[in-house]
Structure formats: C-alpha cells, structure tokens
Structure 1
Amino acid sequence: MKHYLLPLALTLSACGATDDGRPNVVLDTELGEIEIEVHLDTAPISGADFLMHVDKGLYVDQGFYRVVRADNDPRGMGMSLIQGGILSQEFDTPLIAHELTTDTGLSNTRGVISIARDAPGTGSAGYFFINIGDNSFLDTGGDRNPDGAGYATFGTIIRGMDVVENIHSKDASGDSPSPVTDNQYLTQPVKIVRAYRVEN
C-alpha cells in the first residue's frame, strides 16, 4: 500500500477544469462533508491531479487512514494533520512533478491541503493530507524533511474543519507499515462516500 509518509503533469483541460482558477470540491465522508477550494491558479499540477481523481471517482469508497498529533509525532515537533486518499493496495497512481510552496504561495498551516510524498516527484493526489495545526516546517526550506523541498500545497478547507478535527481525534492504534508511523494509523479508516465538484 503506497501510503507515503507525507505519500506526468496534467493540463487543466485534461482534468475537465473550467476557466475558474479556484474550483470547489466536496469530500463527503461518513462523518460529514469537507469542502475544499482548489488553487489551480497557483498550484496547477497538484490541483489538476486532485481534480482528476475527483472527476474519475477515484476517491469513492477510499478514505482517511492516518492522523498525526503532538502525542504520536516521533520527532516531537507537534505536527498535526490527517492523511487520506487511496486505500487499495492494488491502485498505482501516476506520479506528478513537485511544486514548491515558494511557487504556490500557500503555507502548510491550518486548513491547507497538500500532496503526500517520499522524495520530491514521488507524490500524487492519490495520497494527500490536511493540516490542522501550524505545520510550516513542511514548507519548502522547512526542517521536517532533510531534502528541504517541502510538501506541495494546493488548496484550502473552506467548510468542514469540524469534520477534519473529528477524524483527527479517532483511535490511532491500528497496524502501521513502519515504526516511524506507529500509533498514527486509524483502527478504522474514515470512508469517503463520494467526491464531487460544486459551484462556487
């Protein structure tokens, strides 16, 4: 299962984007709705990849599976986020080019959604996370990752942070694929029932 630990550029027309540089998407989870403003204007690669996953129905019956909190962050940096996306072990999502936060102009702070990855260029919107606290150490030049490239930001939560926080509070004593993420995997992933665009 390619659950990148934080994890082919697509044109906007390829993912069915309109002239709207900031379309809205709803992730309808079993705990409620999360509405996201996708920043296509400043994060065209990551934003387009996220919309492609939405438009193709790839998030349906997937979900949120990992939470990081002050009490389970092994680095002791107080990282606070939930991670979600594709749950299936068989799914192989195409990788996208890495976008720097210095280019997108959007910091990894509360309510910002970002691409999970290993090395730069190994991520995709198949695996993403939503920041709950100030995680600006995940920005380009930040000290969380030794490569200094940061994690690509591409949108903001405009409704449903209460749902995000509810997910964040769930039991995280599930099986972990790595000692680094011990006590971070939910015992029961929170399912995404559907994902769709809305008029903004």
Structure 2
Amino acid sequence: MDSAKIGRRSLLGAAGLLVASPLPAWAAARKPRVVIQTDHGAIVVELESEKAPITSANFLRYVDARKYDGGTFYRASRTKGVKGAGSIQGGPPVRVRRFAPIAHESTRMTGLKHRAGTISVARNAPGTATADFFICASPAPYLDAHPGAPGDNQGFAAFGTVVEGMAVVKTILALRSDGPAPFPVMKGQILNPPVQILGMKRQA
C-alpha cells in the first residue's frame, strides 16, 4: 500500500474520531441570554434561537437597539382560582418606533411549549407581532397552537425561558392591577403603577 493511501486513511480515521467524540462544553453553541432589569429585580431569559429563529432575532433586535429601555411590564393576567398562576406582559415605551411585524412561528413549528418561565411574543392576528412580550408564571398549554380547534388556533410564538428571576416574575404578577383597561377583556389586569424596565441587554 502506498504512503498516499495510508495518509488518506489516517485523515479519515481522525475525522471519524472527531465526529464520534462529544464536543466539549465550551465548543457547543451557547444560547443567547438577555437580562431584563426592572425596578423589582432582574429576570434573565435564555432564547431558543435555533428553534424559533425569527422571533428570537426580532427580540434581540429590539434589545440591541435599546428600544426596551424605559419600557414597562404593564399587565398581570392571573388564572382565576389558582394562586401564583398567570402571565405578565411588557413592552417598550409608547414613543418607541417599532420594526416591521414578523412572521408567526407557532409552537407546532418550533416544538416549544408555554410552560412556567416561557417567554413568548404578543400578537393580534398571526403575523402582527412586533415588540410586546409576555412571561408565563405557570404552565399555559392553552397558549400553544391547537390545529384542530376552531377559529384562530395558531397560539402564540414561544421563544425562550426564564433561567433566573422567576421570583421577580411572581412578584410582578401579584402586584396591584386596577389600572384603567384599554379593552374590557383587560379589566383588573393593568398594573398600577406599571413596573419599570430599567434596561435590557445581552448577558456577557
């Protein structure tokens, strides 16, 4: 056997070992994390940028442009009869100019679910989401896509989860919420006063 063939086989064998061997922790792609600093403490969310690339990139675009700074958590939607269950909703200041709406990434597409700690993007009709988001304080499977259901059954676009600060989420959910509601469905859910978002940035 000539030396060229031996060389090629040696390279192929080495490549096989690399494929078979698990990558060290530092070599694995790290999911982006964002620190949401509020006047009630910090919440750290980890984004599913591979499973929900459109929604994650949109959120990071607002974060990097500092458009959430000075915004608020303004809504606490509680599950009736279940203490500590529900979600909190936030967004940028009203004066902020928003980017164009994004395509809807349903949970059926991404495989993500609305569990305790899930961060998801708010919307009206599918394809209208911009900057407002909400964080689940408890499991909310009714927010997932349900293709067999009547009407708008596409659910909301989950795109990450809280990795630090769930106590802050729970605290915000329990705050006074008798502010004036822009829609009847939100009566009793508007935080009074709203919780200030002091800043948002990627975690180093």
Taking structure 1 as the reference length, the TM-score comes to 0.81
2:171 pairs with 1:148: no
The equivalent position to 1:35 in structure 2, one of 44, 62, 66, is 44
Indicate how the Cα distance of structure 1 residues 87 and 71 shifts in structure 2: closer, same or farther if over 3 A, else same: farther
Q: Which runs of 4+ in 1 moved over 4 A?
A: 142-145
Counterpart mapping for 1:82-93 below 5 A: 82-88=88-94, 91-93=97-99
The one-letter amino acid of 2:104's match is H
Task: Give the alignment's Cα RMSD to 1 decimal.
Answer: 2.4
Aligned to 1:16: none
Would the aligned equivalents of 1:34 and 1:157 in 2 still touch at CA under 8 Å?
yes
Instruction: Give, in whole Å, the separation in 1 of the partners of 2:152 and 2:128.
Output: 13
Instruction: Give, in whole Å, the separation in 2 of the partners of 1:46 and 1:30.
Output: 26
Count of residue correspondences: 176
The equivalent position to 2:100 in structure 1, one of 94, 113, 122, is 94
Counterpart mapping for 1:56-67 below 5 A: 56-67=65-76
Indicate how the Cα distance of structure 1 residues 160 and 173 shifts in structure 2: closer, same or farther if over 3 A, else same: same
The one-letter amino acid of 1:193's match is L
Would the aligned equivalents of 1:136 and 1:142 in 2 still touch at CA under 8 Å?
no
Would the aligned equivalents of 2:67 and 2:96 in 1 still touch at CA under 8 Å?
no
Please give the secondary structure, in 1, of the residue aligned with 2:58.
helix
Indicate how the Cα distance of structure 1 residues 129 and 140 shifts in structure 2: closer, same or farther if over 3 A, else same: same
Aligned to 1:11: none
**Gap runs ≥5 in structure 1:** 1-18
Counterpart mapping for 1:1-200 below 5 A: 20=29, 22-71=31-80, 80-88=86-94, 91-124=97-130, 126-141=131-146, 146-199=151-204
For residues 48-69 of structure 1, the C-alpha deviation after alignment (integer angstroms, 9 at most, x for no partner) is 0000011000010101000111
Larger Rg: 2
For residues 131-179 of structure 1, the C-alpha deviation after alignment (integer angstroms, 9 at most, x for no partner) is 1111111101079983000100000100000001110011110011011
Instruction: Give, in whole Å, the separation in 2 of the partners of 1:66 and 1:54.
Output: 20
Would the aligned equivalents of 1:137 and 1:144 in 2 still touch at CA under 8 Å?
no
Higher percent of residues as helix: 2
Please give the secondary structure, in 1, of the residue aligned with 2:46.
strand
**Gap runs ≥5 in structure 2:** 1-27
Instruction: Give, in whole Å, the separation in 2 of the partners of 1:80 and 1:143.
Output: 24
Please give the secondary structure, in 1, of the residue aligned with 2:162.
strand
Indicate how the Cα distance of structure 1 residues 147 and 55 shifts in structure 2: closer, same or farther if over 3 A, else same: same
- Report deviation, 1:21: 5.6
The one-letter amino acid of 2:101's match is L
The one-letter amino acid of 2:91's match is G
